[in-house]
Every structure is written in structure tokens, then in C-alpha cells.
Amino acid sequence: MNKGDVIIYACVIIGAGIGLALGSAFPGVLVGLGVGYLIKISLNNEEK
């Protein structure tokens, strides 16, 4: 498992937690997944 995958998993878990606090986990998971991919892409661009 590389650093990018860990970032995506962490964002999904955080998004699910926020979504559960607001009453629905699934939209939070989707937002967390999107944010995780954006962070992963931005980190990959900075390394190059």
C-alpha cells in the first residue's frame, strides 16, 4: 500500500464519520473519496 492509497482511505473514513454525524454516511463517503483523489493527484504533481 503506497502513500496515495492511505490518503484516500483516510479521507473516505473521515467523510463517512462526518456523514454519520449529519445523518447519512454515503454522501460523506463520496465526498471523502473525491477529496482523497484530489489530494493524491496534487501530491503526485508536487513530487514531479
Residues 1-48: pLDDT tens digits? 788 899 999 999 999 999 999 998 899 999 999 999 999 999 888 776
Domain limits for position 29: 3-43
Q: Structural domain tally of the chain? A: 1
**20 lies in a domain?**
yes
**31 lies in a domain?**
yes
**48 lies in a domain?**
no
| pLDDT number for residue 8 | 92
Closest to 40 in 3D by CA, of 3, 13, 12? 3
Place of cell 454525524: 21
Query: Helix, strand, or coil here: 2?
Result: coil
